[in-house]
Amino acid sequence: MFPAARFIHLVRDGRAVAASLLPLDWGPNNALHAAEFWMARCALGLAAELDLGPDRILRVRYEDVLQEPESSLRRITGFIGLDYEPAMAAANPSRPTRYHEHQHHLVGQSPVRSRAVGWQQVLSRREVEIFEAEAGDFLETLGYQARYGVRAMPATRVEVFRLRLGDLARRARNNLLRRWRVRTSLPQRRPES
């Protein structure tokens, strides 16, 4: 429909994606499922890169935007034919809706460099190892260094069983949380007199 459209494929270290997603009430609830979730979504972007070519799609690493916001944003704006403006890298007064404010509290804030490696303090060693056993090759293909490499031990059958069992409990909890957020974020109706 839009033959001249250009696309930005924003890629982030999958371990950081897992650390961001696991506390949320949607998406994967453990490192194994987070690895599968991340790979599936990145694969769509990589397929688009192959199909569209470098003239129509630009891959940008999230970590590069955090480390060098101005040069990364200049690269992006140049690719899509816009002029760079310093305000693009600054915080902005945007706020998420009341429904989303708990899970998207960083919206509107300036990029913070430490977020690139924040996953190292959030994920346990075993969560990192399970993630890398599932997605280590994919991490390295995208230029991220795996901590465990070929030594990463996949989840055992017992761990997979526990993860699935934990998933059931977490999904039930998440469904309740979502319902509560919907109820508390909607404007209250006043009784008609």
Q: Is 100 within the bounds of a domain?
A: no
Give the pLDDT score at 177: 81
Q: Is 165 within the bounds of a domain?
A: no
Q: What CATH number does the domain containing 141 carry?
A: 3.40.50.300
pLDDT at 133 over 60: yes
- Number of domains composing the chain: 1
The CA angle 6-11-13, to the nearest 5 degrees, is 175
- Mean pLDDT confidence for 75-91: 92
144-175 burial, b at 16+ Cβ within 10 Å, e below that, comes to: bebbeeeebeebeeebeeebeeebeebeeebe
Residue predicted with more confidence, 19 or 185 = 19
Contact between 58 and 48 under an 8 Å Cβ cutoff? The reply is no
- Per residue in 100-126, pLDDT tens? 666 666 677 777 788 788 899 999 999
How far is it, in rounded angstroms, from Cα 2 to Cα 56? 11
Residue 73's pLDDT band, with cuts at 50, 70 and 90, is: very high
- For residue 123, the enclosing domain spans 7-89+112-154
Q: Is 66 within the bounds of a domain?
A: yes
In this structure, what DSSP letter does residue 154 have?
A: P
- Mean pLDDT confidence for 79-103: 80
Residue 175's pLDDT band, with cuts at 50, 70 and 90, is: confident
- Per residue in 27-53, pLDDT tens? 898 999 999 999 999 999 999 999 999
- Mean pLDDT confidence for 118-146: 94
58-62, 104-108, 179-183: least confidently modelled range: 104-108
pLDDT at 71 over 70: yes
Q: What is the mean pLDDT of the chain?
A: 87
Q: Is 15 within the bounds of a domain?
A: yes
Residue 95's pLDDT band, with cuts at 50, 70 and 90, is: confident
Q: Is 162 within the bounds of a domain?
A: no
- Mean pLDDT confidence for 5-25: 93
Identity of residue 171: R
Phi, psi of 138 (to 5 degrees): -65, -40
Q: Is 30 within the bounds of a domain?
A: yes
Q: Is 167 within the bounds of a domain?
A: no
Give the pLDDT score at 116: 82
Q: Is 2 within the bounds of a domain?
A: no
